[in-house]
């Protein structure tokens, strides 16, 4: 694997398109080799399982206001039959996994050079079905941000923009005794999701007017850290994984105008991370119970599986993720 700095000579710079091949649609999920999956399976000792998905509608109203609640309908054809269907099922409205077609780069397009004009509803390229077919399984590693800050007496509020830079990630890993093996699935527990779901609906509506969340720094050092550690997937319990809103970024594009509608992704880590490096990202994962177990037994690695819905061309999916210790 080339280092991040060695990717500076890639086309486009700091992209993995030639690392995994110009026809690739898996991105960093390629790092989950059979050997690494087999080694991760040996982490299972007690057999305790932890669901990492929140229920559908757990985050209603959704913080960005763009993903309405899902309607679940149950019907019966006779007394001893039941069937059901969903309306308004936004695939990224609860715990989610972002497909590689989700976010593009304003200069270089989507992952592996897919042009925005070709990333249409008629296309399935870079869809979530690729990861459904390959399956996602490997060594999961939890970094418990909230407990680390509390243990070291550092000021912390999960309702604010706490920026997590590379030295902070290293400090948490060292504090927990984490060793990196390559191909790891990184989980960041900030406490944001558990705080949000505990709120009443009026409290959520009020909070959404001032929504802030901790997350990864929008700095090149973050990309270097993730790539050089060979992270296969990075997920958190926040809506964006990265710090929100963007405060200081290495990724602003000169002269870029804000979009007419939707989230303004200017300066966001999503662009280089997904479109250039092809890194899998997960958001709003349920990490509180797993974090409590890790704090209790001192083991912060585990076997992790993730099986997104097999929707050809899907832009996202609930992760259907499970941690087994």
- Reduced 3-state DSSP string for the chain: CCCCHHHHHCCCCCCCHHHHCCCCCCHHHHHCCHHHHHHHHCCCCCCCEEECCCCCCCCCCCCCCCCCCCEEEEECCCCCCCEEEEECCCCCCCCEEECCCCCCECCCEEHHHECHHHCCCCCCCCCCHHHHHHCEEEEEEEEEHHHHHHHCCCCCCCCCCCEECHHHHHHHHHHHCCCCCCCCEEEEECCHHHHHHCCCHHHHHHHHCCCCECEECCCHHHHHHHHHCCCCEEEECCCCCECECCCCCCCCCCCCCCCCCCCCCCCCCHHHHHHHCCCEEEECCCCHHHHHHHHHHCCCEEEEEECCCCCCCCCEECCCEEEEC
CA–CA separation, 169 and 219 (whole Å): 13
Asked if 236 and 215 count as a contact pair (C-beta separation under 8 A), the reply is yes
Report pLDDT for 309: 98
Q: Which residues of 148-173 are buried (b: 16+ CB within 10 A; e: fewer)?
A: bbeeeeeebebeeebbbebebbeebb
pLDDT of residue 64: 85
Q: What confidence score (pLDDT) does residue 126 get?
A: 98
Instruction: Look at strands 316-317 and 96-98 and give their pairing.
Output: antiparallel
Nearest to 280 by CA among 190, 215, 192, 184: 184
What is the longest distance spanned by two Cα atoms in the chain?
Answer: 66
What are the tokens at 206? 């009020």
Read off the tokens for 141: 């590693």
Structure tokens at 282: 């997960």
CA distance 112 to 96: 22
CA distance 120 to 131: 19
**What local confidence, expressed as pLDDT, does residue 66 receive?**
82
Give pTM, 2 decimals: 0.97
pLDDT truncated to tens, each residue of the chain (325 aa)? 999 999 999 999 999 999 999 999 999 999 999 999 999 999 999 999 999 999 999 999 999 888 899 999 999 999 999 999 999 999 999 999 999 999 999 999 999 999 999 999 999 999 999 999 999 999 999 999 999 999 999 999 999 999 999 999 999 999 999 999 999 999 999 999 999 999 999 999 999 999 999 999 999 999 999 999 999 999 999 999 999 999 899 999 888 888 888 888 889 999 999 999 999 999 999 999 999 999 999 999 999 999 999 999 999 999 999 999 9
């Amino acid at each position: 694997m080339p280092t991040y700095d060695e990717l500076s000579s890639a086309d486009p710079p700091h992209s993995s398109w030639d690392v995994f091949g110009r026809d690739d649609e898996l991105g960093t999920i390629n790092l989950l080799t059979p050997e690494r999956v087999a080694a991760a399976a040996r982490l299972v000792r007690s057999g305790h399982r932890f669901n990492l998905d929140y229920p559908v509608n757990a985050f209603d109203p959704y913080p960005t206001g763009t993903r309405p609640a899902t309607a679940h309908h149950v019907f019966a054809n006779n007394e001893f039959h039941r069937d059901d269907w969903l309306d308004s099922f936004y695939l990224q409205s609860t715990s989610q996994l972002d497909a590689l077609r989700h976010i593009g780069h304003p200069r270089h397009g989507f992952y592996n050079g897919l042009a925005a004009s070709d990333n249409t509803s008629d296309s399935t390229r870079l869809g979530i079905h690729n990861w459904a077919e390959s399956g996602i399984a490997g060594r999961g590693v939890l970094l418990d941000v909230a407990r680390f800050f509390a243990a070291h007496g550092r000021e912390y509020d999960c309702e604010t923009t706490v920026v997590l830079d590379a030295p902070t990630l290293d400090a948490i890993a060292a504090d927990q005794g984490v060793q990196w093996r390559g191909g790891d699935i990184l989980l960041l527990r900030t406490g944001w999701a558990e705080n949000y779901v505990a709120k009443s609906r009026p409290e959520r509506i009020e909070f959404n007017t001032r929504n802030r969340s901790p997350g990864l720094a929008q700095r090149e050092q973050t990309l270097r850290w993730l790539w050089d550690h060979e992270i296969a997937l990075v997920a958190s319990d926040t809506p964006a994984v990265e710090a929100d809103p963007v405060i200081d970024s290495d990724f602003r594009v000169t002269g870029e105008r804000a979009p007419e509608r939707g989230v303004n992704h200017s300066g966001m880590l999503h662009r280089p991370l997904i479109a250039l490096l092809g890194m899998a990202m997960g958001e709003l994962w349920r990490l509180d119970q797993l974090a409590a177990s890790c704090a209790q037994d001192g083991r912060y690695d585990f076997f992790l599986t993730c099986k997104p819905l097999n929707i050809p061309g899907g832009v996202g999916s609930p992760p259907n993720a499970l941690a087994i210790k």
